[in-house]
Amino acid sequence: MLRILIRAQVQSVLASLTRSSRGKGLSLAAAGLLIVFLAAVFLFFFGFTFYALALALPGMGLGWFYFALAAAMAFALGFIGSVFMAQQQLFNARDNELLLAMPIRPRDILGARMAVLLLLDYALTLVVLLPAGAVWLAVAGGTLSGVIGFVLSALLLPLLIMCFTCLFAWLLALISSRMRRKTLITLALSIAFLAAYFYFYMNLQRLLTELIANSERIAGAFVAVYPLYAFGRAALGSWPHVAGFAACCVLPFALVCAILSRGFLAVTTRRGAGKKLVYRERALKASGAGAALLKKELARFGSNGMYILNAASGTLFTVAAVAALFIYRVEAAALLAALPEGLGAGVVTLALCFLTAMDFISAPSVSLEGRTLWLLKSLPVPTRKILMSKVNLHLAVALPPTLLASVCCAAALPFTLAEAAAIVAVPALTCVFCALLGLAVNLRYPKFDYINETAVIKNSMSVALTMFGSWALLAAAALLYAFALRGVIGMTAYLGLCAAALAAACAGLYLHICRGGVGRFAEL
């Protein structure tokens, strides 16, 4: 039974990556390429980090600390990368009740879901430990027992990560099943994780220098965290520490499995949260159909923390960028002044465009209708208006911060009037373009057979195509200027051409949605 459930889980994950509901989807090869690209980015990032550490630590006799740091990083990435998915997969999956009604032991359902999460943890761990191991071998060399000890410990580490992931996910599910403001909790926790990640990322160089300078003192603190210390020693070929680390991973993992299988039924079948809200009649506000549809879209967006965090991450970063601009205004101006004349406007515009292109709010919006699609189709509202409400949601969320950031950049930094106009216009048009593109792609590749909404928001093809497609277009525009047009046309004129091209693309997409998109929506 467990095998059947695992197979179904794996198929579901693969399908979410490669297939839309109507059969047309990304090929397995294309999905694989996407994963390889992302893995390469991470491998490069971690490779750089470990290279700096591998040069310094072995000479100080702190080789074990190198591997302990690698384990800590793998732990952090694995935990952050899988905890919310664990909550959705283990405790909030739409088919939990269906499976629980079948003659299947709850622990088998849990086991199948944990197996898939474990695979994800292995993948995330590999992204950190592979460059760590390779860099160590290249820089410091290694022994056979060390390699075996490292490989064994690397295979065991995801079990330890799973313990914390599952327990935290269980805690989240327990808290959220008792609370009304689930979105707020998810948002607060996720933003805290993101802030910590970006703090680490932005200060990587300084942290690395400090780490190497104070490595003996920090290593002393690491000794106190036995699993990390054991991992470090095991990776250098110490067999007692391999056994010790195995005990640190396997025993807690078994304990967590036992605890979760006992509590699984209680958490998944918990209903109702807190005190019941009693309706007291009051005057209702009336609005037009268009406004009602937009309010409905906003309500859906606001009710789902995953939707906000994933699809509106560009907006969050744009707001952060505006704050950073005010803090580092002088440094930013100096940086721009160092660039060749005229290039500053292009760099700022490109950065703002990339930020707004990180928003893909409209890309899963049709898929998210799911089982309620009948409702929209039965309303006496033109389909064009229904579809535009999804574009308007994207614009309502993403356009104001984009405009604010553009205006702040144009005002705070030394630009000419024409450059300032381009800095405001091009990102705004990119935002409109992304909104329209997301909707058009989602109409082409909708996905309605999802287990939970996170699968559509994070893994669906329309989202991947919209985000990477718009990024690719921006990169192409930048490269075209850098390598072909730089000597031919000035930056301001080029930005003007980009604005015209974007306006034309927006008009084309709008017409496509109003004609082909309307027909496509009727077919869904």
* The two three-digit tokens of residue 117, written as one number: 């999460």
Which of 143, 203, 287, 416 contacts another protein by CB under 8 A? Answer: 287
Interface with another protein includes 299 (CB under 8 A)? yes
List the one residue out of 123, 118, 106, 112 whose CA is nearest residue 162.
Answer: 118
Give the burial string for 174-209 (b: 16+ CB within 10 Å, else e): eebbeeeebbeebbebbeebbeeeeeeeeeeeeeee
Give yes or no for residue 278 binding another protein (CB under 8 A): yes
By CB under 8 A, residue 275 contacts another protein: no
Task: Report if residue 374 touches another protein, rule: CB under 8 A.
Answer: yes
At residue 114, φ and ψ (nearest 5 deg) are -65, -35
Mark out the alpha helices in 413-490 (DSSP H runs).
417-444, 453-459, 461-480
Residues 57-86 that bind another protein (CB under 8 A): none
Judged on CB neighbours under 10 Å (0-12, 13-18, 19+), 284 is: exposed
Q: Which of 125, 304, 460, 466 binds another protein (CB under 8 A)?
A: 304
Q: Which amino acid is at 406?
A: S
Site for another protein in 212-271 (CB under 8 A): 271
> Rg for the chain (alpha carbons), in Å?
26
Length of the chain counted residue by residue: 524
Determine, following the binding rule CB under 8 A, whether residue 523 of this chain makes contact with another protein.
Answer: yes
Q: In the bound complex, what is the minimum distance in angstroms from residue 271's beta carbon to another protein?
A: 8
User: Judged by CB under 8 A, which stretch of 171-179, 298-306, 338-346, 471-479 contacts another protein?
Assistant: 298-306
Tell which one of 101, 103, 276, 417 touches another protein (CB under 8 A).
Answer: 276
* 3-class DSSP state of 178: helix
Q: How far apart are CA 226 and CA 229, in angstroms?
A: 5
- Comparing CB distances to another protein, the nearer of 374 and 483 is 374
Residues from 430 through 459 that contact another protein (CB under 8 A): none
Q: Which is nearer to another protein, 226 or 448 (CB)?
A: 448
Residue among 74 and 293 whose Cβ is closer to another protein: 293
CB of 514 to another protein, least distance (A): 15
Among the listed residues 29, 102, 224, 284, the single contact to another protein using CB under 8 A:
284
* Of 206 and 371, CB closest to another protein: 371
Stretch that binds another protein, among 287-295, 354-362, 400-408, 471-479 (CB under 8 A): 287-295
User: Any idea which residue has 């959220």 for tokens?
Assistant: 176
DSSP notation for 245-305: HHHHHHHHHHHHHHHHHHHHHHHHT----SSPPPP---PPPP--HHHHHHHHHHHHHHH-H
Candidate residues 292, 396, 497, 518; the one interacting with another protein per rule CB under 8 A:
292
Q: Which of 295, 444, 486, 512 binds another protein (CB under 8 A)?
A: 295
Cα three-residue angle 156-15-39, rounded to 5 degrees: 50
- The one segment of 28-36, 78-86, 275-283, 403-411 that binds another protein by CB under 8 A: 275-283
Among 94, 270, 300, 384, binds another protein (CB under 8 A): 300
By CB under 8 A, tell whether 285 contacts another protein: yes
381 binds another protein (CB under 8 A): yes
Q: Which of 378, 417, 483, 488 binds another protein (CB under 8 A)?
A: 378
Q: Does 274 bind another protein (CB under 8 A)?
A: no
Question: Which C-beta is closer to another protein: that of 448 or that of 468?
Answer: 448
Angle, CA of 173, 177 and 179, to the nearest 5°: 115
Q: What is the nearest approach in angstroms of another protein to the Cβ of residue 523?
A: 7
Q: Is position 30 an interface residue for another protein (rule: CB under 8 A)?
A: no
Q: Which helix (H) or strand (E) holds 143?
A: none
Closest CA to 19 of 455, 521, 498, 422: 455
Structure tokens at 406: 């553009």
Give the whole-angstrom CA distance, residue 436 versus residue 462. 12
Selected from 119, 379, 497, 514, the binder of another protein by CB under 8 A is 379
Residue with tokens 């893995």: 39
Q: Hey, which residues between 353 and 372 contact another protein (CB under 8 A)?
A: 370-372
Q: Is 291 in the site for another protein (CB under 8 A)?
A: yes
Between 34 and 185, CB nearer to another protein: 185
DSSP 362-399: TTTTTGGGGGGHHHHHHSSS-HHHHHHHHHHHHHHHHH
Interface residues with another protein (CB under 8 A)?
271-272, 276-281, 283-289, 291-293, 295-296, 299-300, 303-304, 370-372, 374-375, 377-382, 522-523
